[in-house]
Amino acid sequence: MTFDLLTLFPGMFAGPLTESILKRAAESGLITVRCHNIRDYATDKHHTADDAPYGGGTGMIMKVEPLAGCIEAVKVDRPRAKVILTTPRGRTFSHRMARDLAGEPGLIIICGRYEGVDERVSTLYVDHEISLGDFVLTGGELAAMVIVDAVSRFLPGVLGGAGAAQTDSYSDGLLEYPQFTRPPDFRGVTVPELLLSGNHAEIAKWRRGESLLKTARIRPDLLATASVTEKERKWLAENGRQEGAQ
């Protein structure tokens, strides 16, 4: 997959997207990340990419002309790529959204800045407006990095093992169960004996129960839409109350 990142600060991507798993994915040809400087498409000699908002107000607004020129130039090579705008007013990014976007032929991600982007950019070009959550960043570059990372994990071969992303937190609507590795005892805190037993059926049952309990404690809102049976809900109601009373 090709990710085209439209930004005023291309230098911000040099580290995060050129290390670890994403670096190996790029070297293997599984992903391509291209940065495009929006200022290169400005129409004046000062390469102006922002201006004061009509109607007054604080801050500056990203201009439509440079963004339009940049998007259209990228679309020449990527006509079927979906255009994403990172903005606090967008739909909240999620595990499911990352998985769905991984099925697209390519993504063009506009890194929002300042007080916002001229609305005509969304009207004419944007397919998805995406937010990382109910908070505001200084710019959309960090959000774009998160989107590239999360989407890339669903691309075949990026994580190495087949289906590796399918067992993460949120894959079935629940948070992931606790994980342990050597040593079995660290400063008096021991690994649950069951995990050392080799009984994979019982281990799977334990992990499922721990996922349910952890989700109920930390993100109970997820249980409304998670894949949970009626039997599990009854078990959780009983065991969740018992745990909370300890």
Would strands 2-7 and 32-37 be described as parallel, antiparallel, or unpaired?
parallel
- 36-to-49, 55, 114, 163 alpha-carbon distances in Å: 13, 30, 18, 32
pTM: 0.89
**What is the residue-wise DSSP string for 191-204?**
--GGGGS--HHHHH
Whole-number Å distance between alpha carbons of 205 and 138:
44
Would you state the pLDDT for residue 165?
A: 59
Whole-number Å distance between alpha carbons of 56 and 196:
66
| Kind and range of the H or E run holding 99 | helix 95-101
Active site residues: 88, 115, 153, 168
pLDDT digits 0-9 by tens, 58-81: 999 999 999 999 999 999 999 999
**What is the residue-wise DSSP string for 127-186?**
SEEEESSSS--SBTHHHHHHHHHHHHTTSTTSSSSTTGGGGSTTTTSSPPPP---S-SEE
Please, what CATH class does the domain formed by 185-245 belong to?
Answer: mainly alpha
Q: Name the CATH code of domain 2-152 (choices 3.20.20.140, 1.20.1250.20, 3.40.1280.10, 3.30.160.270).
A: 3.40.1280.10
pLDDT digits 0-9 by tens, 230-239: 999 999 999 8
Q: What are phi and psi of 142, to 5 degrees?
A: -65, -40
> Domain limits of the chain?
2-152, 185-245
Would you state the pLDDT for residue 195?
A: 97
